[in-house]
Structure 1
Amino acid sequence: MSNIESRTIAFIFARGGSKGLPGKNIKPLAGKPLIAHSIDIAKACPFIETVIVSTDDEAIAAVAREYGAEVPFMRPPELATDTAPEWLSWRHAIEWTMREKGHFDHFVSLPATSPFRNVEDVRACVQTLEEDSATDIVITVKNADRSPYFNMVVIDSDGRADLVIKPQGEVSRRQDAPAVYDMTTVAYAARPQFVLRAQRLFDGKVKTVNIPPERALDIDTPYDFMLAQAIAQSRFAS
Structure 2
Amino acid sequence: MSATAFIFARGGSKGVKNKNIYPVAGKPLIAHGIASALASQSVARVVVSTDDAQIAAVARAHGADVLERPSALADDSTPELLAWRHAIASFPQLFSGPAVQPFISLPATSPLRAAQDVDAAIAKFRSHPCDILFGVSPAHRNPYLNMVTIDAQGLLQIAIPGSSAVRRQEVPAMYDVTTCVYVGNASYIQSCTRLMQGRVGHIVIPPERALDIDSHYDIHLAQLLLTQPYPPCAKRSS
Match of 2:202 among 197, 201, 208: 208
Amino acid at match of 2:112: F
1:219 partnered with 2:205: no
Same amino acid, percent of matched pairs: 48
Contact 2:88-2:95 at 8 Å conserved across structures: no
Distance (whole Å) between structure 1 residues aligned to residue 44 and residue 22 of structure 2: 27
State how 1:21-32 maps to structure 2 within 5 Å.
21-32=16-27
Amino acid at match of 1:118: A
1:88 partnered with 2:85: no
Match of 1:231 among 217, 222, 225: 225
SS at match of 2:91: helix
SS at match of 2:193: coil
State how 1:29-178 maps to structure 2 within 5 Å.
29-71=24-66, 73-98=67-92, 103=96, 104-133=100-129, 135-168=130-163, 170-178=164-172
Shift of residue 102, structure 1, vs aligned partner? 6.0
Amino acid at match of 2:63: G
Shift of residue 101, structure 1, vs aligned partner? 5.4
Which ranges of structure 1 fall in alignment gaps of 5 or more residues? none
Shift of residue 174, structure 1, vs aligned partner? 2.3
State how 1:190-209 maps to structure 2 within 5 Å.
190-209=184-203
User: Aligned pairs, how many?
Assistant: 229
Which ranges of structure 2 fall in alignment gaps of 5 or more residues? 234-238
TM-score in terms of structure 2 length: 0.91
Contact 2:105-2:182 at 8 Å conserved across structures: yes
TM-score in terms of structure 1 length: 0.91
Distance (whole Å) between structure 2 residues aligned to residue 57 and residue 163 of structure 1: 44
Distance (whole Å) between structure 1 residues aligned to residue 170 and residue 181 of structure 2: 30
Shift of residue 167, structure 1, vs aligned partner? 4.5
